[in-house]
Amino acid sequence: MLRAVLSRDPALWTPLGCDAVGVPEHYGLRLMARLSRPGSVFADTDTGWWWWIVPAGSDRDLRWPEPAHYAPGACIPAGRPRLIHWPDAKVPYTPPIPLYLMICQLAGAVPSWAQLG
């Protein structure tokens, strides 16, 4: 499978590394309307997926529900993603916990926190 890495603008600071969370476009539209501080968001009209930049390791202790796709290193299935939302902050991140909880709600999934220790 071909893969692409979402490019970030060099003007944005990424002190925490970059991963990405993708959802189908119909979820993306609803998430954009609900999130108070979305970071960089990319849309791929070829595949119908929207991708949010989150700090690296945002999958630690979380099980992202289907149909969401977690992409370490912001390495996504190949397509032609384009930036559709520029963040208000100087970092490209969408806060992962609110994003996770909203995706769970849209997917009808109960948030699943991994057991620690």
Indicate the domain borders of the chain.
3-107
Q: Give the pLDDT confidence score for residue 35 in this predicted structure.
A: 92
Q: Which two tokens stand for residue 8?
A: 């970030």
pTM: 0.88
Q: Which two tokens stand for residue 14?
A: 């990424």
Which residues, given as ranges, of the chain have pLDDT below 50? Answer: 1-2, 115-117
